[in-house]
Chains A and B, each alone.
Chain A
Amino acid sequence: MANLTRRTFIKAAGGAAAAVGLVGPARSWAAEPHVVVIGGGYGGAIAAKYLRMMSGGKIKVTMIERDESYYSCPLSNWVVAGFRDLGVQKHSWAEAAKAHGFSVIHKEAEAIDPKAKTVSLAGGEKVSYDKLIVSPGVDYKDNIEGYTKKEYEQHPHAWHAGPQTEALKKKLAAMPDGGKVIIVPPEDPFRCPPGPYERVSLIAHYLKKNKPKSKILVLDPKDKFSKQGLFAGGWKTLYGYETPNSLIEWVAGASGGKVARFDAATGTVFTEMDQHKGDVVNIIPNQKAGQIAFASNLVEGDWCPVNKQTFESTLHKDVYVIGDACNAAKMPKSGYAANSQAKVCVEAVIRSIHGKDPADASYVNTCYSMLSPDYAISVANVFKLKDGEITPINGGMSPPEATPEFRKMEAEFNESWYRSIMADMFA
């Protein structure tokens, strides 16, 4: 732990801490318990900040994050469609680390030793922890023959925001009017279930404005998708969906949408029966928990099993997994869900440090999807634990019939959501 920058952990917590009654000496722990957080995304950034806030600054927190800056996936489809700069999607941890008194080590975490309670970092250094929270996000599978890591540069999936987002935008910009865009969504479960269809919508918006003779072909392995009725309704209103002039054609898995193979050189995708050549091909691969989860035996199948009341791994004690990497069904894999899980996890970790059993948990997911800059829809659910499962309490989609003003207001709230959740993570 040689080069851990020791900060003065004095910044008091906000109003939230006092209300929990968790401030006070930890039972049978070192004077200053140390919680390490791997990953500084939607889950990890919140875990680090709220550990400090909710403990009244009594817990030492170290974040391990490989990248120097964070590009947010939410709203990155706006960048692809050309009405938002990638620069606005870029954030860093310095401000929150200073304001709340946690330290950040910018290195790759390579493995966790749950017995010795250490994390080894690239370069050989080891960091020891009392509790560890892991939020590494997703990694990608090679489920389509001919589409692997080495094709990402030429044919970006852009499911990890950053340079790939810009690359996909450039490919669309370079496409001639009358071109064909092929989008291949992944199979469930994956990060942001409505995300591929938001992307379809916003690319349609871009084409309608700039290249109206072009078409989008969606070859889906699935037979249905998130908020499908609302998307289809919006596509009818905005993009002539299900008319001969539709900008968008969606092919379900059962109707021949399953893509088996890709030829990167010609941009051709092969389904069971057919082949299609695209001017821009956007394949979004199937997903699994981030690599560190596999390196550290935190997975069962593709995802990390957890106690859903605390997010403690069912495989390793004192290791917690939140965000996309964990199996938190029936919560979807979203940024809002990761944020909410981080807060549930932090309260459970602090209670555990104080020798208390976890309290009842409360979780929220909301997700806005934009169909055009003046038209957004949303889903919002409150969840509680019932028989060990995270169960939605209320029903939560935007109404199927709504005025244009309503859709426009949701579009305004979409960006507002983004700013508030970014401030929750990075301020």
Chain B
Amino acid sequence: MHHKSIRTLVMAGCLASAGLLALAGTALAEPASESMLSNTCAGCHGTDGVAAGPAMPSIANMDAKIMENLLMQFKSGERPSTIMGRIATGYEDAELKAIAQHFSKLPWKSTAVPTDPKLVAEGAKLHKSEKCNSCHEEDGRTQSAEDGVMRQAGQIPHYLFLQMVNYQKQEYPDVPKKMMSRLSKLSEKDLQALAHFYASQK
């Protein structure tokens, strides 16, 4: 698959990797550490990126390139959001890169938000019949930096639902046509089922 934005970022990354030092706001002080920049996210995404639910996503362990790409898209406004756009514009590109690095090193913890067994069973069927598993392998456990696919297994269910509804209603920069054509014909109930299925996969 072709993901121009990610490739560009990888190249830009080489140039920027040592660049954080240049950002120091106060002449003499060391630049803000990764944790200094990242721990501010915990008020919404939970301590170390593990959200408490019921709607905001966990972001721990997200592949650094994927997260950097999402944050850059929030910042540019390409990616629709209620609040992340306003937050991402508060950071330099190199800071967003450092933040993405930080979260990629933190362990994933699947959500404890309960799921509905009936919906889970329906979702499991849809996941296969709609061939979601061609990209979201191992029932949503895998991430692919190359394809921009993030983990869904054990994610907050209502977030997954909201995000799929968002995909149906709004333009997102990196959503593959194959996913859109499959998602667009699904009902709200189907999306609920898929959300519960992915969330139940720990």
Contacts and interface: CB of A to CB of B under 8 A. Distances in A.
Say if A and B assemble together.
yes
Interface of A: 14-17, 19-21, 50, 54, 309, 336, 339-340, 343-344, 347, 357-364, 366, 378, 380-386, 392-398, 406, 409-410, 412-413, 415-417, 419-424, 427
Interface string B68-108: 00000000000000110011011100010000001001110
A339 B43 contact: yes
Contact of A15 (B24, B44, B105): B105
B42 interface: yes
Contacts of A359: 29-33, 36
Contacts of A358: 29
A406 B82 contact: yes
Contacts of B95: 362
A383 B89 CA distance: 11
Nearest to A16: B35
Contact of B44 (A17, A21, A406, A417): A417
17 contacts: A15-B107, A20-B33, A20-B35, A347-B35, A357-B29, A360-B31, A361-B32, A378-B82, A380-B87, A394-B87, A394-B90, A395-B86, A409-B55, A409-B82, A419-B53, A420-B42, A423-B46
B17 interface: no
Nearest to B33: A20
Contacts, number: 158
Contacts of B42: 339, 420-421, 424
A366 B44 contact: yes
B73 to A, nearest CB: 16
Contacts of B44: 366, 413, 416-417, 420-421
Contact of A382 (B39, B55, B87): B87
B26 A360 contact: yes
Of all A-B residue pairs in the complex, the 6 with the closest CB atoms, nearest first, are A382-B90, A419-B52, A364-B40, A394-B90, A359-B30, A416-B55
Given A347-B35, A410-B82, A424 B29 contact: no
Contacts of A413: 44, 55-56, 82-83
B87 A364 contact: yes
A360 B30 contact: yes
B120 interface: no
A385 B26 contact: yes
B54 to A, nearest CB: 6
